[in-house]
Amino acid sequence: NPILHARTKHIEILFILSRKTQLGIIKVLYIYTKEQIVDLSTKLVNKIWHKKLIENVRSTHLYV
């Protein structure tokens, strides 16, 4: 049943993330709405906000 699989897969992913967070393997950080870098590609932003987000992209370090 594809619908049931989609639901259980979602629950499984949430469980894995929750468990790894509890164990300290990953750390979840809150990012304020106005600091969401993804807004550059998903929303229309004015010039000032665009400049601020671009500066954030340049100063962001992603750890994989």
The tens digit of pLDDT for each residue in 1-31 reads 666 666 677 788 888 999 999 999 988 888 8
Residues 35 and 57 in one domain: yes
Domain that residue 64 falls in: 31-64
Residues 20 and 41 in one domain: no
CA angle in degrees (0–180, nearest 5) for 55-61-64: 145
pTM for the full model?
Answer: 0.43
Residues 35 and 49 in one domain: yes
Residues 6 and 22 in one domain: yes
Residues 15 and 35 in one domain: no
Query: How many domains does the structure of the chain reveal?
Result: 2
pLDDT for the residue 64: 47
Instruction: Identify the CA nearest to 37 among candidates 49, 29, 27.
Output: 49
Residues 17 and 40 in one domain: no
Contact 39, 53 (CB under 8 A): yes
Residues 23 and 39 in one domain: no
Instruction: Identify the CA nearest to 33 among candidates 17, 49, 9.
Output: 49
